């Protein structure tokens, strides 16, 4: 799918295709859909980023709360979104040893208790060891910093998902 195809999608199809580039937040895709036409995938990505940046702090925290715990119960129950499941598996979070799983669960709970939203990191850019290290370190941060860090990670996830959608569609047409 090229940007012309993206721009020609009906509203419902646009939201269906891009509705989970920000985890469980189709409202983001719905909001940026009205900004079409986009000149490029990068301009679509910028529109999403600008929408997120313009949200009040409570909106940003809402986006963070839509993310599942890493290696948490949704992974164990098989109820993650397709994208999250693939990303967590790629990082090795679906194959943690029992001590790693216990440590992850403990740190996830500590983090959520302190910040009020789950720990968010771009799993596709990290492995399980780096994720555990970052989770441990970031538990010591202040709320404002973690909100900012979490949103930056959301944007990384969004970027990879956007580029994956377009690249997958382009490859399928070859």
Q: pLDDT by residue for the chain (174 residues), tens digit each? A: 999 999 999 999 999 999 999 999 999 999 999 999 999 999 999 999 999 999 999 999 999 999 999 999 999 999 999 999 999 999 999 999 999 999 999 999 999 999 999 999 999 999 999 999 999 999 999 999 999 999 999 999 999 999 999 754 444 443
- pLDDT at residue 170, as a whole number: 42
Helix axes 26-33, 11-18, angle to 10 degrees: 140
- pLDDT at residue 166, as a whole number: 79
| Architecture of the domain delimited by 3-62+160-173 | Orthogonal Bundle (1.10)
Q: Which residues are catalytic?
A: 67
Burial 113-152 (b: 16+ CB within 10 A, else e): eebebbbbbbbbebebeebbebbeebbeeeeeebbebbbe
- The number of beta carbons lying within 10 Å of the beta carbon of residue 7 is 14
| Architecture of the domain delimited by 67-149 | Orthogonal Bundle (1.10)
- pLDDT at residue 167, as a whole number: 57
Q: Domain coordinates of the chain in residue numbers? A: 3-62+160-173, 67-149
Rounded CA-CA distance 44/121 in Å is: 22
- pLDDT at residue 130, as a whole number: 98
Q: Which helix (H) or strand (E) holds 109?
A: helix 98-115
Minimal CA–CA distance to 118: which of 86, 164, 84? 84
Q: What is the pTM of this model?
A: 0.94
- pLDDT at residue 66, as a whole number: 97
């Amino acid at each position: 799918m090229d940007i012309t195809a993206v721009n020609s999608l009906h509203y419902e199809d646009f939201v269906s295709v891009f509705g989970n580039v920000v985890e469980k937040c189709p409202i983001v895709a719905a909001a940026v859909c009205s900004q079409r036409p986009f000149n490029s995938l990068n301009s679509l990505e910028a529109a999403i980023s600008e929408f997120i940046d313009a949200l009040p702090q409570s909106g940003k925290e809402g986006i963070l709360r839509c993310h599942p715990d890493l290696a948490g119960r949704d992974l164990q129950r098989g109820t993650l979104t397709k994208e999250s499941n693939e990303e967590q598996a790629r990082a090795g979070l679906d194959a943690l040893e029992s001590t790693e799983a216990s440590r992850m669960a403990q740190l996830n709970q500590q983090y959520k208790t302190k910040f009020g939203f789950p720990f968010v990191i771009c799993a596709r850019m990290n492995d399980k060891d780096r994720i555990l290290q970052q989770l441990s370190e970031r538990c010591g941060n202040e709320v404002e910093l973690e909100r900012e860090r979490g949103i930056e990670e959301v944007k990384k996830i969004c970027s990879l998902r956007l580029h994956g959608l377009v690249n997958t569609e382009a490859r399928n047409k070859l």
